Amino acid sequence: MHPMLNTAVKAARRAGQIINRASLDIDILQVTKKQHNDFVTDVDKAAEAAIIEILHIAYPDHGFLAEESGANDRESEYLWIIDPLDGTTNFIHGFPQYCVSIALSYCSCITQAVVYDPTRNDLFTASRGRGAFLNDRRIRVSRRDRLADGLIGTGFPFRDERKLSEYLKLFNEMTRACAGLRRPGAAALDLAYVAAGRYDGFFEQGIHPWDVAAGSLLVTEAGGLVGNYTGDSAFLHQHEIVAGNPKQYAQMVQILKPYSEAERRV
């Protein structure tokens, strides 16, 4: 395992311990509302602090972009992109679908990725050019060719209700096109599931880099494709993502393209 990936795994497992311990006492959690339907807990903050501490000790010159503390202004070609608890709303309710997501970007290219599911002790890892793994076993995207046979993951634009009506049109269209649509509520874990072949594809809008940075490398290293709704691979800062095995990805892009906000901004 690459030394930087090894450090990220150590940080993810430490955050997972904090999350698991807190899950035993959910009823005493301090929950703060960031904006509509967007929550943060003391656990998010403690997990993020633990991750940053471990990474900073190992790599004091590296930069950070983290969900709760934002970006530091350290000038570095290396940037750690961190979501300490993706799926906070699930966590608050005791719904066991959440994870830790850590990615390393080098010169704006994602090179290392960890997605850790502490409830199942599932560790998804990838290093650029070396494949994707679940608990040290190689994973690949699914082989189903037809979107009509595909199980597709998604997420609702929960922060901005103005986008909901258009999204429901898309939801309707995609539901008719595939075998099943799922919305568990943790994008990083959804992308890991695409990499492992548990989903055939995934799409979501209104997402941030820390939601998808690690998961996107897992998908590409597992033989899949990732992009924005138009199929453009420069998706990380465009608030929309589609991922899947190559055949299903192409069919999903045909449906998603008219809904692309990236396209409208051009």
Q: With contact defined as beta carbons under 8 Å apart, do 28 and 42 qualify?
A: no
Q: Which CATH class is domain 147-260?
A: alpha beta
Residue 36 CB coordination number (10 Å) = 9
Residue-level pLDDT, tens digit, the chain, 266 residues: 899 999 999 999 999 999 999 898 877 777 777 666 556 678 999 999 999 999 999 999 999 999 888 888 678 999 999 999 999 999 999 999 999 999 999 999 999 999 999 999 999 999 999 999 999 999 999 999 999 999 999 998 766 667 788 889 999 999 999 999 999 999 999 999 999 999 999 999 989 999 999 999 999 999 999 999 999 998 999 999 999 999 999 999 999 999 998 766 55
165: which residues sit within 8 A by CB, 6+ positions away?
none
Show me where the domains of the chain are located: 3-139, 147-260
- Taking the whole predicted model, whether its pTM rises above 0.85 is answered as yes
Angle ∠(236,253,117) on CA atoms, nearest 5? 50
> What CATH number was assigned to the domain covering residues 3-139?
3.30.540.10
